[in-house]
Amino acid sequence: MPETGTTDSDLPPTIFVLYGATGDLARRMVLPAFFQLAQHGLLPPDWRLIGSGRGERSDEEFVDHVRGALEEFGPSPDDGPWDEFAPRLRFAGGGFTVEDPGTLLDVVSAAREELGEEAQLVHYLSLPPKNFLDYTRALGEHDLAEGSRVVYEKPYGASPDGFRELDEVVHSVFDEQQVFRIDHFLGKEGTQDLHVLRFANGLFEHVWSREHVAQVQIDVPEDLDVADRADFYDGTGATLDMLVTHLFQVAAEVAMEPPVSFAADDILAARESVLAAFRPLAPEDVVLGQFDGYRELDGVPDDSSTDTFVAARLYIDSGRWRGVPFLLRTGKRMAAKEQRVSLVLHRPKGPVNDVPANGNVLSLSLAGAGAVDIDVMAKRPGPDLAMAPARVSLDLSKIPGGDPLPPYVSLIHDVLTGDRSLFTTSEGLAQTWRALQPVLDDRPEVHPYEPGSWGPAQATALAGEHGWLLGQTE
Ligand code: BG6
């Protein structure tokens, strides 16, 4: 078979098994991401993608399914390289359980014959999380674990007990080094830029501590509803869906000590140790909300107390950050959609004593390709020495030679290269659950808020004199 267009020739032949291949997540995210990898020349010179599912389909039917997914959610297959992509797709039906592996073992063997025994095997569990345990056991039972890599979607355990049980089973089958747990916020271009901006620029590195930073805000308001996935959402809520996952991981990215190097093990160690310094959240430092009208959505019980909004004041007990509040906020049906990390700097000491509390802010947008914005005080041009707030912005997509990748594309590429630096670890997740535990034990009241607002008024007080930077002018 010919090689696929441009490829990453450092990568070995790879067999990528996609469990749940005909499900929603695969259609929306994984298959389009895989095709984009082909477009960017980031797949190995030779590979097979085996879709695994419960139904029976021929390879041709699966090819049609993938094409349909791309037409709906991805780059158009007609933009290429579809003709080289499609012949590498296979389907293994009949499900995959401990008792019955369906046709998967035969299809993997056939792929190994085509690619060679040394082919790298990657298992991608694009499945509802309740199936993670059974599929993991089945991978062990059917001898597919050795030497392979395995990818778990979020949520990797939806409670401390659920996390521990899953992690035990996973570690009975795989070594930690083989496991790639996705938190797609870590794969965002903007998040990845945090390290480069900070560690490659004295301008930023020198201010990165309690001495200069009054507070950090990680603010992810969403204007979206949850109507299309109310069933799932009502069993989860904002705290589990976003806070203990994405917002905590981004907070760790901001707050970590300089890793010894950018090697994956050093970054993982630095992230784990800062997560271990997260002070358990005090319930009075957490405000939960639910937007008016949420209970009327199909699939949501009339008396649901699920939080669609959470704001939290987190402290990190490291020398660098002691006493600096990390303000984390997210919610559905809010006034805007943004993803911002902001470091609010202390007012400078010196002759200018009327700098506003939020006059000096270093902020990063995590949306899309990312952007860096610096709010400064400048002289308002004119005859008088008057000050005015001004913003300096850098759109990261405009950096010459840049080729920004969506988070799933970037993370799947990291799986193929074996780079775990942007994935969560067992130890790190244990620390996030530890930090959330008091809020689970003593759940704060859920306050109503207006759709299209900035959440319940009770959240305002958390931000202190600086207020939340987003939504201040509303
Ligand atoms: C998902 C959450 O993990 O992240 C969603 O389940 C949320 O509730 C989404 O909307 C946000 O991701 P993105 O891709 O918009 O940054």
Confirm whether residue 21 is marked as ligand binding: yes
pLDDT in tens, 109-134: 999 999 999 999 999 999 999 999 99
- What average pLDDT does the segment 162-173 reach? 97
User: What does residue 83 show for φ and ψ, rounded to 5 degrees?
Assistant: -65, -30
Which residue, by CA, sits nearest to atom 10 of ligand 1?
222
What is the β-pairing status of strands 361-365 and 340-345? antiparallel
Mean pLDDT of the chain: 95
Q: Does 406 score more than 90 pLDDT?
A: yes
- Establish whether 295 is an annotated binding residue: no
- Right CATH number for 186-405+446-466 from 3.20.20.60, 3.30.2090.10, 3.30.360.10, 3.60.21.10? 3.30.360.10
Confidence of residue 403 (pLDDT cuts 50, 70, 90): confident
Give pLDDT tens digits for 4-28.
557 777 899 999 999 999 999 999 9
- Mutation probe of ligand 1 site: the residue of 241, 308, 333, 408 with most atoms within 8 A of C-beta: 241
Q: Flag whether pLDDT at 139 surpasses 50.
A: yes
| Ramachandran area for residue 392 (φ above 0: left; ψ -120 to 50: alpha; else beta) | beta
Å from CA of 232 to ligand 1 middle: 13
Please state the atom number of ligand 1 nearest to the C-alpha of residue 367.
Answer: 16
In the predicted structure, residue 395 carries a pLDDT above the cut 90: yes
Q: How many angstroms separate the CA atoms of 439 and 446, rounded?
A: 12
- How would you write the chain as a 3-class SS string? CCCCCCCCCCCCCEEEEEECCCCHHHHHHHHHHHHHHHHCCCCCCCEEEEEECCCCCCHHHHHHHHHHHHHHHCCCHHHCCHHHHHHHEEEECCCCCCCCCCCHHHHHHHHHHHHCCCCEEEEEECCCHHHHHHHHHHHHHCCCCCCCEEEECCCCCCCHHHHHHHHHHHHHHCCHHHEEECCHHHHCHHHHHHHHHHHHCHHHHCCCCCCCEEEEEEEEECCCCCHHHHHHHHCCHHHHHHHHHHHHHHHHHHHCCCCCCCCHHHHHHHHHHHHHCECCCCHHHEEEEEECCHHHCCCCCCCCCCCCEEEEEECECCCCCCCCCEEEEEECCECCCCCEEEEEECCCCCCCCCCCCCCCEEEEECCCCCEEEEEEEEECCCCCCCEEEEEEEEEHHHCCCCCCCCHHHHHHHHHHHCCCCCCECHHHHHHHHHHHHHHHHCCCCEEEECCCECCCHHHHHHHHHHCCCCCCCC
Ligand 1 binding pocket includes 375 (Cβ within 6 Å):
no
Residue to substitute in 73, 242, 411 for testing ligand 1 pocket (most ligand atoms within 8 angstroms of CB): 242
**Looking at residue 473, what is its pLDDT?**
58
Active-site residue (options: 40, 65, 142, 246): 246
154 labeled binding residue: yes
Return the domain boundaries, the chain.
Answer: 14-153, 186-405+446-466
Is 20 marked as a binding-site residue? yes
Ligand 1 and 222: CB distance under 6 A: yes
Q: Give me the pLDDT at residue 4, please.
A: 53
Cα of 183 vs centre of ligand 1, distance in Å, is: 10
Q: Which whole number is the average pLDDT over 170-178?
A: 98
Return the ligand 1 atom nearest residue 246 CA: 3
Evaluate: CB of 189 within 6 angstroms of ligand 1.
no
Q: What is the CATH number of domain 14-153?
A: 3.40.50.720
Q: Which of 191, 219, 246 for a ligand 1 pocket mutation test, highest count of atoms within 8 Å of Cβ?
A: 246
Residue 223 C-alpha to ligand 1 middle, in angstroms? 12
Quick one: average pLDDT of 386-413?
94
Ligand 1 atom at minimum distance from 233 CA:
8
Say yes or no: CB of residue 241 within 6 Å of ligand 1. yes
pLDDT band at 474 (very low <50, low <70, confident <90, very high): very low
Q: How far is the CA of 212 from the centre of ligand 1 (A)?
A: 31
* The predicted structure's pLDDT at residue 9: 79
Q: Is 51 annotated as a binding residue?
A: no
Please give the pLDDT value at position 465: 85
Distance 184 CA to ligand 1 centre (A): 8
Residue 2's pLDDT is: 45
% of the chain at pLDDT higher than 70: 99
In the predicted model, is pLDDT for residue 1 greater than 60? no
Q: Return the pLDDT at 251.
A: 98
- The verdict on whether residue 391 carries a ligand-binding annotation is no
416-429: per-residue pLDDT in tens?
Answer: 999 999 999 999 99
Per the annotation, the verdict on 246 as an active-site residue is: yes
CA of 224 to the centre of ligand 1 (A): 10
Which ligand 1 atom is at minimum distance from the Cα of 224?
A: 10
State the pLDDT at residue 10.
Answer: 87
Looking at the chain, the whole-number percentage of residues with pLDDT higher than 90 is 91
Q: How confident is the model at residue 411 (pLDDT cuts 50, 70, 90)?
A: very high
